[in-house]
Structure 1
Amino acid sequence: MRSDAAWEPPRWRTLGAGAVLAAVAALVGIALTGAATPTILADPGAVVRWGLPVVELVVDLACAVTIGALVLAAVVLPRAGDAQASARRRTRVTPDGGAWVLAQRTAAVASVVWTLAVAVQLVLTYASVSGRPIGGPTFGDELGVYLTQIGLGQAGLWALALTALTSLLAVAATGYASAAWAAVLALAALAPVAQTGHAAGATNHTLAVGSLWLHLAGVTVWIGGLAVLVVVAGALGRDLRTVAARYSHLAIWAYALVAVSGVVNAYVRIGSLAGLATPYGAILLLKVACAVLLGVAGWWHRRRTIPRLTSGRTAPFWRLVAAEVVLAGAVMGLAVALSSTSPPVPDTPPTAPSPAEAITGYPPPAEPTVAGWFTLVQPDVLVLTGVVSAAVVIVGWTLRLRRRGDAWPAGRGASMLVGLLLVAWASSGGAAVYGHVLFSGHMVQHMVLVMLAPIFLVLGAPVTLGLRALPSRDDGSRGPRELLLAVVHSKVAAFFGHPIVAAVNVAGSMILFYYSPLFELSLTNHLVHLWMIVHFTLAGYLFVNVLIGIDPGPRRPSYPLRLLLLFATMAFHAFFGLALTEGTQLLAARWFGALGLPWGVDALADQRLGGAFAWGFGEIPSLVLAIALGLAWIRDDERTARRLDRAADRSGDADLAAYNAMLARMAGTSHTERPSSPTEVDR
């Protein structure tokens, strides 16, 4: 019998108890809310009404285990037998590494179950929404139409395709990079699920979809990772404390994501405090209580159980983990009950919307004013989450360096925060509100993202700060610092960071974006809109980093070439703005030309105003960059001169003496070869 110090959780009993409690919570919750009550018309039958929640629970559990296992394999668990990589990275610790293989196998099995369950879920979902039992001579044909021509079915088919591809990558994963790519694809597979959740058709569609995706991502990483820790418990060996500490840091971020996105989801679906008195609200409160208990357990881990692992006392840690897994099962079950229950706020589009509201999904804003540009808000929860997370990380890194006794200029940190604030304003503030209904507002968004915010981001030197503040791993695994270095030294970063490519990307992307269907697609599809924000911000960052950055990356050109690149970009912005101001064809006409804003807008005149803004405003950051480049050039010359002076002092002006001697030899050679008299010439 094992001692208390070496105690491990009964893996399958723990996981089984969690799964059983999840099923009980889901079925009891559905029974209490009446979500499975037979309908008077078009009832699909008890098999569909009760089978669909059960299958959804299997989907959620398999999804969580898959993503949790892949994330642990990518950034938490060390591998064994990678001697060449360990030697190349000068690894100082030899890990057990057995848990990595088990986690990869767990991800492979769970991903296959996930894929099969999603396929069954598609069939049951069609039966539920169509109100007909499974089977019949035309059921297959009707299902095909649902999957290919109906939005809900198309989203489900995308989810199945992404899940199947995730399964292939999970089965084939052999290292950190392949596990990471599989995890990214698995998280992407959650997007179609979020797209079809409650409130997807309501006024707050974008807010609801974004917050639900964040909620699902946080839950799967947090709870899935916890379950996989139990699965690999027996194979951790001496890696236990290191893995537990790493997972604890990861769980903090995931828990914060779940908490914030949960509040946003509750706001969208509950509407008011009165909504908490409904069956949906009661289940939500019970789920919140369980989540709070799990948060307290995580805090106790960090305070008590993980520090005790140093002395070999594993029993308190594993017992608390086992209790967490069982309680997490209840949370997953309650989540299924919630997804099967109608929320207090109906998930239906508003009746009799205005043309602008029917097209954009939002009520039209008031006529633009100076105050409105800085007070109106249309939050993009995904971008705001990224911005706030980046701000927290920057502040945390700076404080870590100061606690360590290292200096980091406060101005750089402030510059980075200003850049992040500009990104937040452009994506969720007045620029986002007006950019959705006015071409000129969209151009303000664009220019802030590609020309203004990158200047402050680059001057903040985030990569240099991260490399100084982040600890390196000593067991061959890849943590944040290793991932950051991998990105900086990747071939993709080298290509897009090349001075010529960066300049062409900034200039060419504008033409490609605005004079192609991408522009209108970014207005109608939020994923394309997110791509636009990320792409133009990164494109501007890479270009500005070539000019004035100090972060590591591709070799920067000489200062004259940098100025040439800057002036060429300035000329292009002027040309682009001039083309818009003189244009006679309305871009994205089916959008801007059909809004019918109540305060009246000449869409073509507004487009010309946007062109004038691109022409005029684009030159201001360019002028700032030109001045900064000139100052940097002067400082570089001064540093070079001081370095040469110090070298001359150390060598006693040896270089100058050698140069003078060379001149003297050349002068002497010329003198001796010159004819001494006209007579010699005659000869």
Structure 2
Amino acid sequence: MPRLLRVLAPAVLLAATLAAVLLGLGIGGAADERALADPGAVVRYGLPLSRTLVNVAMAGLIGAVVMAVWAVAGEGRDPDARGAGAASGGREAGIAMDVAAGSAALLTVASAATILFTYVDVSGLAFSLDASFGAGLAQFVTEIELGRLWLVELLLAAGTTVLAFAIRERRLTLLVLVAALATALPLASQGHAAGASGHAQAVNSLLVHLVGAAVWLGGLLTLVFLARAVDRPRLAVLTARYSTLALCAFIGVAASGVVSAWLRVGTWDALLGTGYGRLVILKTAALVLLGGFGAFQRSRLIPRIVASPRGGRVFAWFVVAELAVMGAASGIAGALGRTATPVSFEPAQEQGSGISPAEWLTGDPLPPELTPLSYLTEWKFDLAWALVSAFGIALYLAGVIRLARRGDRWPVGRTIAWILGMLVLFYTTNGPFNAYEAYLFSVHMLGHMLLTMLIPLVLVLGAPVTLALRACEKRGDGSWGGREWILWGVQTPFSRIVTHPAVAAVVFAGSLWVFYFTPIFRWAMAEHLGHQWMIVHFLISGYLFSLSMIGVDPVPYRFPYPLRLVTLFATMASHAFFGVTLMTGDGLMLADWFGAMGRSWGATPLEDQSAGGGIAWGIGELPTLALALIVAVQWSRSDAKEQRRKDRAADRSDDAELRAYNAMLARQAERDARAPRR
């Protein structure tokens, strides 16, 4: 790529972003002077510009780190690594991490500027250097939710900057990736008022949108800087890997964009007749155009990079054009963030006395009475977990298809188990359990049992790690793909600890007591982040326990079969005791939550809690009993396999072991016969 284009590409991105922000502010009306408490033109334009710069910088950070982790060659590569990637050594990873560090630094500065502009905007005070302005700013970032979120964003960006500059070792880039992804959490939480209807769905949808757009935009920007350091064949390889990431990102951005837009627009009339709706249409057009860019890049551009002597130059100008469209989309998104939405998102607590207690607590109205039919008709969709389920099925089937194409077979039962587990996960996180779990403890407990016991059990039977190790190709260019990261992950000391059967059993059984009898329970019910943590924790703890008991995927150590059965019966006893404790208790857990919903239907809160205890004791033991049966079957099959192995060995040696044993017995009998004579 010509050196000029390395400068031109980022410049085009920023110019297109700036132009789109200004155009979007005019279309949406966010730049108009306000009748009351107008902050001035500097803030009206400066706030959306700095906020958009935050988005672009975060994209550069996340996209660059993802490329460093997944696509490029880096330090610590295989000794037998071959090809251009191996020859470039750690240079590719160094370039990607430099882009990440620069983007993180820009994110820090842009976040600080946004804090200042936001405070001036919401306070109505003019900027000054006196003590009262500073005191008000300090109060804003410590006591007001919006200010606290921006302060967290600033601190995360600053910490990630230090990590990105300091870390270059391949495995430690995972730490940078976690920190980079964390910078998206405060931004997603700002996109929808806490306590407003649909808050959880909106936050998850916006988080998917931010991360997807970041991987898409930041990965392409990183590719621009990498292109100068590699030859054309290597550029084609890196572009193909980026294209796969971009396709996944496009799916996430498109799906989350539809959900977010519909939550905020509400009606077709609002889509066509409001400034916000017109901006949504423009952003949709940019997304469709970018999808066309991606299809062209994957089908036509990548082969041409190697085939044509001018392939590198064609790629360069194509990337510049794509970055211009991405900048326009980012600018429109920035303007959308400052434009009034047709659907109001006022928190329920601020709507006065006309709301129900349930809506005041959860932000959502109380659902209709729970009936058997409700388990089919009531849904509360969560885009993030819907995409997890969809991608989980798609990637698993892709692995099975890859094995079939090269002539390998994969058991159909394992495929069915994995798909079933993902479908139950989708149903649990998007269906009636998600709709009622905040209001009924019994429904919450039933969903908990599915998350920690049934879903992990069937997912473990799918043996996803074994499939991935067989289906993922080994890379020989110094980069790490799925196979390399999985092999490293299962061999780490941390993996040895968390997959040890004793540790997995203690976490599995102890999580019930720690979760429900500590403040963690309230955090999970009242806070969106706590609820998502709860789902992830119980899925992982249940998966590790099932893996240590019946899994076929590789782990460092498993108990002998008798000890596995003992462990299972011990966990069953712990669950039973927990369920009996809830059933016989006379105090209501989270009384100011479950007891204050104002339900006029269903069992009383204490009766419902007792039913939840019965679920934990009765229904919750069924998956554990299934585990015990599977362990018993595996034990019997193991004995049969061992006997067949011995039979085959005897056939090969003509029963040499048996004849040697008989000869030893004969010699011993002869010695015993001579003993009396002596």
Per the TM alignment, residue 572 of structure 1 is displaced from its structure 2 partner at its CA by 1.3
Show the counterpart of 1:343.
Answer: 341
**Would you say the 8 A contact 1:162–1:185 is kept in 2?**
yes
Give the alignment partner of residue 504 of structure 1, picking from 500, 503, 506: 506
SS in 2 for 1:341: coil
Could you tell me how far apart the structure 2 residues matched to 1:105 and 1:652 are?
66
Corresponding position: 1:45 with 2:45: no
**Would you say the 8 A contact 2:83–2:477 is kept in 1?**
yes
SS in 2 for 1:353: coil
Corresponding position: 1:119 with 2:117: no
How many equivalent pairs are there? 667
Per the TM alignment, residue 675 of structure 1 is displaced from its structure 2 partner at its CA by 7.0
**Would you say the 8 A contact 1:198–1:343 is kept in 2?**
no
Per the TM alignment, residue 40 of structure 1 is displaced from its structure 2 partner at its CA by 2.8
Could you tell me how far apart the structure 2 residues matched to 1:595 and 1:336 are?
38
**Would you say the 8 A contact 2:357–2:596 is kept in 1?**
yes
Distance 1:454 1:201, change over 3 A: closer
Per the TM alignment, residue 674 of structure 1 is displaced from its structure 2 partner at its CA by 4.2
Give the alignment partner of residue 364 of structure 1, picking from 366, 369, 387: 366
Show the counterpart of 1:515.
Answer: 517
Show the counterpart of 1:56.
Answer: 51
Give the alignment partner of residue 32 of structure 1, picking from 13, 27, 31: 27
Per the TM alignment, residue 130 of structure 1 is displaced from its structure 2 partner at its CA by 1.3
Per the TM alignment, residue 593 of structure 1 is displaced from its structure 2 partner at its CA by 1.3
Show the counterpart of 1:331.
Answer: 329
SS in 2 for 1:175: coil
Per the TM alignment, residue 200 of structure 1 is displaced from its structure 2 partner at its CA by 5.0
Letter in 1 for 2:492: S
Could you tell me how far apart the structure 1 residues matched to 2:3 and 2:131 are?
54
Could you tell me how far apart the structure 2 residues matched to 1:314 and 1:381 are?
38
SS in 2 for 1:471: coil
Letter in 2 for 1:346: S
Letter in 1 for 2:329: V
| More moved, 121-130 vs 654-663 | 654-663
Distance 1:674 1:607, change over 3 A: farther
Give the alignment partner of residue 379 of structure 2, picking from 372, 377, 380: 377
Per the TM alignment, residue 203 of structure 1 is displaced from its structure 2 partner at its CA by 0.6
SS in 1 for 2:172: helix
Distance 1:49 1:7, change over 3 A: closer
Per the TM alignment, residue 175 of structure 1 is displaced from its structure 2 partner at its CA by 2.4
**Would you say the 8 A contact 1:71–1:180 is kept in 2?**
no
**Would you say the 8 A contact 1:64–1:221 is kept in 2?**
yes
Letter in 1 for 2:211: A
Could you tell me how far apart the structure 2 residues matched to 1:92 and 1:555 are?
37
- Counterparts of 1:104-115 in structure 2 under 5 Å? 104-115=97-108
Per the TM alignment, residue 246 of structure 1 is displaced from its structure 2 partner at its CA by 0.5
Show the counterpart of 1:317.
Answer: 315
1:119-158: per-residue Cα shift (whole Å, max 9, x none)?
Answer: 1111111111112221144111011111111111111111
Per the TM alignment, residue 314 of structure 1 is displaced from its structure 2 partner at its CA by 2.1
Show the counterpart of 1:167.
Answer: 161
**Would you say the 8 A contact 1:15–1:326 is kept in 2?**
no
**Would you say the 8 A contact 2:78–2:476 is kept in 1?**
no
**Would you say the 8 A contact 1:58–1:114 is kept in 2?**
yes
- Counterparts of 1:224-373 in structure 2 under 5 Å? 224-237=218-231, 238-276=233-271, 277-311=273-307, 312=309, 313-350=311-348, 351=351, 352-373=354-375
Per the TM alignment, residue 9 of structure 1 is displaced from its structure 2 partner at its CA by 6.6
**Would you say the 8 A contact 1:8–1:233 is kept in 2?**
no
Per the TM alignment, residue 415 of structure 1 is displaced from its structure 2 partner at its CA by 0.7
Letter in 2 for 1:215: H
Per the TM alignment, residue 387 of structure 1 is displaced from its structure 2 partner at its CA by 1.5
Give the alignment partner of residue 66 of structure 1, picking from 36, 41, 61: 61
**Would you say the 8 A contact 1:365–1:433 is kept in 2?**
yes
Could you tell me how far apart the structure 2 residues matched to 1:590 and 1:320 are?
59
Show the counterpart of 1:576.
Answer: 578
Show the counterpart of 1:76.
Answer: 71
Letter in 2 for 1:398: V
Letter in 1 for 2:278: A
Letter in 2 for 1:571: A
Could you tell me how far apart the structure 2 residues matched to 1:611 and 1:498 are?
29
Could you tell me how far apart the structure 2 residues matched to 1:501 and 1:300 are?
50
Could you tell me how far apart the structure 2 residues matched to 1:581 and 1:51 are?
58
Could you tell me how far apart the structure 2 residues matched to 1:558 and 1:658 are?
30
Could you tell me how far apart the structure 2 residues matched to 1:586 and 1:668 are?
79
Could you tell me how far apart the structure 2 residues matched to 1:242 and 1:366 are?
54
Letter in 1 for 2:105: V
Show the counterpart of 1:679.
Answer: none
Show the counterpart of 1:432.
Answer: 434
**Would you say the 8 A contact 2:24–2:335 is kept in 1?**
yes
Show the counterpart of 1:648.
Answer: 650
Show the counterpart of 2:122.
Answer: 129
Could you tell me how far apart the structure 2 residues matched to 1:549 and 1:674 are?
58
Distance 1:626 1:86, change over 3 A: closer
Could you tell me how far apart the structure 2 residues matched to 1:112 and 1:62 are?
8
SS in 2 for 1:10: helix
Letter in 2 for 1:421: L
Corresponding position: 1:596 with 2:598: yes
Could you tell me how far apart the structure 1 residues matched to 2:45 and 2:620 are?
59
**Would you say the 8 A contact 1:199–1:269 is kept in 2?**
no
- Counterparts of 1:392-541 in structure 2 under 5 Å? 392-541=394-543
SS in 2 for 1:102: helix
Letter in 2 for 1:394: Y
TM-score by length of 2: 0.95
**Would you say the 8 A contact 2:375–2:431 is kept in 1?**
yes
Give the alignment partner of residue 634 of structure 2, picking from 626, 632, 637: 632
Distance 1:569 1:333, change over 3 A: same
Could you tell me how far apart the structure 1 residues matched to 2:59 and 2:624 are?
47
Could you tell me how far apart the structure 1 residues matched to 2:226 and 2:640 are?
59
1:551-604: per-residue Cα shift (whole Å, max 9, x none)?
Answer: 111222211111111111111111111111111221122211111113154111
Could you tell me how far apart the structure 2 residues matched to 1:431 and 1:361 are?
17
| More moved, 274-283 vs 347-356 | 347-356
SS in 2 for 1:232: helix
SS in 1 for 2:191: coil
**Would you say the 8 A contact 1:69–1:106 is kept in 2?**
yes
C-alpha RMSD of the superposition: 1.8
Show the counterpart of 1:3.
Answer: none
Could you tell me how far apart the structure 2 residues matched to 1:21 and 1:549 are?
52
Could you tell me how far apart the structure 2 residues matched to 1:668 and 1:501 are?
54
> Could you tell me the percent identity over the aligned residues?
43
1:212-243: per-residue Cα shift (whole Å, max 9, x none)?
Answer: 11101011110111122122321122421110
**Would you say the 8 A contact 1:376–1:433 is kept in 2?**
yes
Per the TM alignment, residue 661 of structure 1 is displaced from its structure 2 partner at its CA by 2.3
Show the counterpart of 1:204.
Answer: 198
Could you tell me how far apart the structure 1 residues matched to 2:468 and 2:401 are?
12
Per the TM alignment, residue 673 of structure 1 is displaced from its structure 2 partner at its CA by 3.4
Per the TM alignment, residue 201 of structure 1 is displaced from its structure 2 partner at its CA by 5.2
